[in-house]
């Protein structure tokens, strides 16, 4: 019996904690299940709350809605008042810059005959039969404050054969965005909005080279001036943009007086028509009037037209046609050798009214490939003669940020063209060139208008 009691006591001693442990485990399991349910319920509630917007601001019942205030143009007080919400770069996290940075690299190669190289008569004069960085550009752009934005572009490129790479300021300007009556003003160093292609940097052009007429009339860099441009877009049912600008007139090829006492004044009018959703036509006319370094008047008129056919749903245009014409009216001093001894005896002031134009068409049947053709014809603003060229090319884009172009350009210059002959004992009357271009973009690059 004693033994039985002992065994019973022993069993109770051993099993009691086990039973208690089992009870604890069951309780714990129940507790965990309960907590899991609670967690699930809270998670679901949280998800529901997160998918709902914050409650709207309550409106006092019975409050009569005040009559809508008439919408007036922006007053000076409005301009001075801080904007709300001040959403400038609200998406950006800490440590990020308050402006965008982009780098564009544009490399060009051209191959031509030895006589053209010797005469320096190729498209990239002095850089024939070379592969060179034409334009490596650092762009900084963004909002200055709620009222203005700014752009700074610093460029480098090879300008002479195997020479040092020069770095220069290509653009630095600010745009006042909140002026009244549909106006805006841009001031600083700008690429002038004269015609279509002048405002584009070389890497953004739809061709490998800038059209001949623009290179001949404005120089290799185009019209790039310091001053002020103002635009107005009246509130009309049709798009109409008017532009007026006042600049120093530093461009030595077309003007060169370089003073605000006799400023370069520019103007442009542009309109745009849509023929259905697939066709668009941009038409414009520009004028630039100033004085040359010799204080002689110089006026250049420009006309532009651009057509695009973009089938509905296409990611790129199928057909693009671009054309521009320039008409230069200027007075020049011409050397007169009255006795034929080869020495200038006097200067004769003459009027020179000369033309230049180009027309280009591009077809892009696939997203990555396009092919095109450009025809150029141009006189020289001061000298007799003319030249024309034809340039077929193909473009290939591995992506939006990388592009390769290959082209052939044939240029013929008339026999009166002084610059074509006997340059370094060589002739560049007829020029055949193979052109290659590689362009990349790093970082930010804003979309380009039509």
Name residues contacting other proteins, limited to 270-289 (CB under 8 A): 270-272, 274, 277, 280, 282
Quickly tell me which residue has 């034409």 as its tokens: 134
Residue 278 and residue 311 in contact, taking contact as beta carbons nearer than 8 Å: yes
> What is the closest distance, in whole angstroms, from the C-beta atom of residue 233 to other proteins in the complex?
5
CA distances from 398 to 137, 317, 395, 438, 439 (A): 21, 17, 10, 11, 11
> What is the closest distance, in whole angstroms, from the C-beta atom of residue 419 to other proteins in the complex?
38
- Is there binding between residue 51 and other proteins (CB under 8 A)? yes
- Is there binding between residue 118 and other proteins (CB under 8 A)? no
Name residues contacting other proteins, limited to 126-185 (CB under 8 A): 143, 145-146, 149, 175, 177-180, 182-184
Closer of 85 and 340 to other proteins (Cβ): 85
Across 160-313, the runs of DSSP E, i.e. the strands, are: 166-176, 183-191, 224-232, 239-247, 264-275, 279-291, 297-309
Residue 201 and residue 137 in contact, taking contact as beta carbons nearer than 8 Å: yes
Six-digit token string for 149: 């934005």
Q: Which residues on adjacent β-strands are paired with residue 172?
A: 152, 189
Count of residues in contact with other proteins, rule CB under 8 A: 70
In the three-class reduction of DSSP (H, G, I as helix; E, B as strand; rest coil), residue 274 is classed as strand
Closer of 13 and 52 to other proteins (Cβ): 52
- Is there binding between residue 396 and other proteins (CB under 8 A)? no
Among 17, 163, 234, 365, binds other proteins (CB under 8 A): 234
Closer of 50 and 425 to other proteins (Cβ): 50
CA distances from 222 to 215, 216, 227, 254, 387 (A): 6, 9, 16, 10, 19
Part in contact with other proteins (CB under 8 A); list of ranges 131-139, 228-236, 250-258, 326-334: 228-236
CA distances from 9 to 2, 13, 20, 189, 218 (A): 10, 6, 16, 103, 114
Find the Cα–Cα–Cα–Cα dihedral 233, 234, 236, 241, rounded to 10°.
-30
Closer of 45 and 83 to other proteins (Cβ): 83
In the three-class reduction of DSSP (H, G, I as helix; E, B as strand; rest coil), residue 47 is classed as helix
Name residues contacting other proteins, limited to 56-95 (CB under 8 A): 56-57, 59, 65-68, 71, 74, 79, 83-88, 90-91
Closer of 100 and 159 to other proteins (Cβ): 100
Footprint of other proteins (CB under 8 A): 50-54, 56-57, 59, 65-68, 71, 74, 79, 83-88, 90-91, 143, 145-146, 149, 175, 177-180, 182-184, 231-239, 241, 270-272, 274, 277, 280, 282, 308, 310, 312-315, 317, 367-368, 399-401, 442, 446-450
């Amino acid at each position: 019996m004693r033994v039985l009691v002992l065994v019973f006591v022993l069993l109770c001693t051993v099993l009691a904690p086990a039973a208690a442990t089992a009870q604890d485990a069951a309780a714990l399991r129940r507790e965990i299940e309960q907590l899991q349910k609670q967690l699930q319920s809270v998670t679901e509630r949280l998800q529901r709350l997160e998918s709902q917007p914050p409650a709207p601001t309550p409106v006092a019942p019975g409050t009569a809605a005040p009559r809508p205030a008439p919408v007036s143009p922006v007053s000076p007080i409005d301009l001075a008042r801080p904007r709300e919400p001040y959403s400038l770069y609200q998406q950006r996290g800490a440590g990020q810059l308050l402006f965008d940075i982009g780098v564009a690299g544009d490399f060009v190669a051209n191959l031509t005959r030895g006589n053209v190289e010797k005469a320096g008569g190729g498209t990239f004069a002095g850089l024939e039969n070379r592969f060179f960085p034409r334009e490596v550009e650092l762009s900084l752009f963004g909002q200055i404050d709620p009222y203005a934005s700014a752009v700074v572009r610093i460029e480098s490129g090879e300008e002479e054969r195997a020479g040092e790479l020069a770095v220069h300021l290509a653009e630095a300007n600010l745009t006042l965005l909140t002026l009244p009556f549909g106006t805006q003003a841009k001031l600083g160093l700008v690429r002038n909005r004269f015609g279509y292609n002048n405002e584009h940097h070389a890497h953004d052009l739809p061709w490998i080279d800038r059209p001949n007429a623009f290179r001949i009339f404005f120089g290799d860099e185009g019209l790039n001036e310091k001053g002020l441009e103002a635009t107005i877009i009246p509130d009309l049912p049709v798009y109409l943009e008017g532009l007026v600008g006042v600049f120093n007139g530093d461009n030595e090829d077309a003007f060169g007086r370089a003073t605000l006492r006799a400023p370069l004044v520019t103007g442009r009018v542009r309109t745009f028509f849509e023929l259905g959703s697939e066709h668009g036509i941009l038409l414009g006319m520009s004028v630039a009037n100033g004085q040359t370094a010799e204080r002689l008047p110089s006026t250049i008129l420009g006309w532009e037209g651009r057509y695009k056919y973009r089938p509905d749903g296409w990611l790129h245009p199928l057909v693009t046609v671009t054309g521009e014409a320039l008409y230069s009216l200027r007075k020049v001093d011409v050397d007169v050798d009255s006795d034929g001894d080869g020495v200038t005896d006097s200067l004769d002031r003459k009027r020179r009214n000369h033309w230049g134009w180009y027309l280009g068409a591009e077809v892009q049947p696939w997203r990555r490939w396009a092919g095109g053709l450009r025809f150029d014809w141009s006189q020289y603003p001061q000298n007799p003669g003319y030249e024309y060229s034809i340039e077929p090319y193909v473009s290939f884009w591995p992506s939006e940020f990388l592009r390769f172009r290959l082209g052939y350009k044939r240029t013929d210059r008339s026999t009166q063209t002084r610059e074509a002959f006997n340059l370094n004992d060589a002739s560049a009357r007829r020029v055949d060139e193979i052109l290659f271009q590689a362009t990349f973009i790093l970082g930010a690059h804003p979309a380009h208008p039509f």
